[in-house]
Structure 1
Amino acid sequence: MSTFVKIQEIIVDQLGKEEDEVQLTTNFREELEADSLDLFQILNDIEDAFEDDNVKIETDEGLVTVQDLVTFVDNQIANNK
């Protein structure tokens, strides 16, 4: 399963959105209307989902779109190998 698909599933589940609403270019705050608490929960769930890859997300700073988050997680996975 790709990083995007895993992250998409988490966002859909947390925010009650449809899969087609969560694309790589989707903006968390503007398009998904996610607030700080939503983002915090999404990031925690992503850390849990990628626990075997030692993914740690300290802050949502710089994570504006789904692509930003996918890139961040992919980079962490690559750096932890």
Structure 2
Amino acid sequence: MEFEALKKVAATVLGMDPEEIEMDMTFLTDLGADSLDLYQIFMGVEEETGLHIPTEGLDKLTTVREAVEWIERAGKL
């Protein structure tokens, strides 16, 4: 569920097809996202899932997989 929500929001923010987004892609190199894009993605995922996702440390996430794990941990708080 977290991966699907992330794909949907990231695709909207980055202007791409959600099916192009894979777990091992990097935000900066593969997806062309910057820190503002990442922040917008996480705010969108919060809205989509109803979870509160901590933003402190977002700048350390480099891959989609790391972001999904971050969201999963937020769901357990």
The ranges of structure 1 where at least 4 consecutive aligned residues each deviate by more than 4 angstroms after the TM superposition are: none
Alignment partner of 1:36 is 2:31: no
Q: How high is the sequence identity, in percent, across the aligned residues?
A: 26
CA distance in 2, matches of 1:4, 1:32: 15
Higher-Rg member (1/2):
1
Q: Alignment RMSD, CA only?
A: 1.5
- Residue type matched to 1:57 in 2? T
Tell me the equivalent position of 1:77.
75
Please give the TM-score of this superposition, normalised by the length of structure 1.
0.81
Tell me the equivalent position of 2:60.
62
Please give the TM-score of this superposition, normalised by the length of structure 2.
0.84
Task: Give the conservation status (yes or no) of the 8 Å contact 1:47–1:56.
Answer: no
CA distance in 2, matches of 1:55, 1:34: 19
Task: Give the conservation status (yes or no) of the 8 Å contact 1:3–1:70.
Answer: yes
Tell me the equivalent position of 2:5.
6
CA distance in 1, matches of 2:52, 2:44: 13
Tell me the equivalent position of 1:22.
21
CA distance in 2, matches of 1:47, 1:56: 10
CA distance in 1, matches of 2:5, 2:37: 17
